[in-house]
């Protein structure tokens, strides 16, 4: 396999740039709407379910409008409460026993996604204030954020697979994720907050295009010269003549077009766009049917630590 540096120019509209910024949020909204739609299919089109879906749909519909996005993000705690109240109204009208273990699990899945959306809202609003600022992150807390998101993805699978971090706990159908974060600054790492999204999105992609039971290795490192991200999987890989194309907006490899996903289809576009924005470089190594490695490095010289 040959490592290829991605150098092609990205010609993005303002709308596309806006959606790139909200990519991770969009993925979570799709998961949330999928869960609510299952409720509606299972128990009928009760007004409560329809109301909850309408709230979520409106948020998703407005994600390419920065002013509306800011309004929704600022009201996420209130919107979360409205969605949950509407769902419980739907359960009541449908005569559903919410103490039933299966129903309770579905509700917990929705609450988990809503909680992550609320946290993400605060992060994005802060990022809007100073989009280029390098911020201090506690490494343990940062790793936990990734674990929380992967837990929400895992719950959405309805038991089809689990995501584990210790090979001793791995069953044949489980994904194992090796996630390592290290820094010359010890237990903290400085980086633009949007880089959290980049690593998270690439790992999510690796999981999406790998069969259950696969291994995903992910690393984030500040070695004082570069901020480095590497994600390696053993999944479907990318056809050799399409490796550079997959960073184009909405473009996926022809060998994964059959794969139904909850994402927007532009995770690698965002990764490449952000990498170039901060003066970095991105490489892809891929072998169809054997896996893909994404490697990013961004210079840290002159980074802000204030």
Mean pLDDT computed over every residue of the chain: 89
Q: How many CB atoms lie within 10 A of CB 24?
A: 24
Tens of pLDDT, residues 106-157? 888 899 899 999 999 998 998 888 888 899 999 999 999 999 888 888 887 8
CA distances from 267 to 129, 204, 248, 276 (A): 23, 9, 10, 14
Domain ranges of the chain: 3-299
Q: Which of 135, 298, 136, 137 is nearest to 226 (CA)?
A: 298
**Is residue 281 over pLDDT 80?**
yes
Residue 256, pLDDT > 80, answer: no
Tell me the average pLDDT across 207-213: 90
Task: Note the pTM of the prediction, 2 decimals.
Answer: 0.86
Higher pLDDT, 304 or 232: 232
Backbone angles phi, psi at 135, to 5 degrees: -120, 150
> Domain 3-299: which CATH class?
alpha beta
Give tens-digit pLDDT for 147-175. 988 888 888 787 889 999 999 999 999 99
**What pLDDT, on the 0 to 100 scale, is given for residue 74?**
95
Looking up tokens 């050799």 gives 240
Rama region for 219: left / alpha / beta (φ>0; ψ in -120 to 50; rest):
beta
């Amino acid at each position: 396999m040959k490592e290829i540096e991605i150098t092609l120019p990205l010609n993005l509209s303002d709308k596309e740039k806006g959606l790139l910024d909200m990519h991770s949020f969009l993925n979570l909204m799709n998961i949330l709407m999928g869960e609510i739609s299952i409720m509606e299919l299972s128990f009928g089109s009760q007004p409560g379910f329809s109301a909850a879906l309408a709230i979520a749909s409106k948020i998703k519909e407005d994600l390419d409008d920065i002013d509306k996005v800011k309004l929704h993000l600022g009201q996420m705690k209130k919107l979360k409460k409205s969605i949950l109240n509407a769902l419980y109204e739907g359960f009541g009208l449908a005569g559903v026993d919410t103490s039933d273990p299966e129903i309770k699990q579905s509700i917990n899945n929705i609450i988990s996604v809503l909680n992550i959306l609320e946290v993400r809202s605060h992060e994005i609003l802060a990022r809007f204030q100073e989009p280029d600022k390098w911020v201090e992150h506690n490494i343990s807390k940062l790793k936990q954020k990734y674990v929380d998101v992967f837990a929400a993805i895992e719950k959405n699978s309805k038991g089809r697979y689990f995501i584990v971090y210790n090979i001793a706990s791995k069953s044949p159908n489980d994904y194992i994720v090796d996630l390592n974060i290290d820094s010359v600054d010890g237990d903290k790492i400085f980086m633009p907050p949007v880089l959290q999204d980049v690593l998270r999105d690439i790992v999510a992609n690796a999981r999406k295009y790998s069969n259950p039971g696969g291994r995903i290795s992910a690393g984030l490192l500040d070695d004082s010269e570069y901020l480095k991200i590497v994600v390696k999987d053993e999944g479907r890989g990318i056809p050799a003549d399409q490796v550079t194309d997959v960073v184009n907006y909405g473009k996926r490899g022809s060998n994964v077009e059959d794969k139904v996903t909850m994402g927007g289809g532009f995770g690698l576009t965002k990764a490449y766009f952000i990498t170039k924005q901060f003066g970095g470089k991105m490489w892809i190594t891929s072998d169809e049917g054997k896996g893909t490695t994404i490697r990013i490095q961004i210079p840290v010289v002159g980074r802000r630590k204030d």
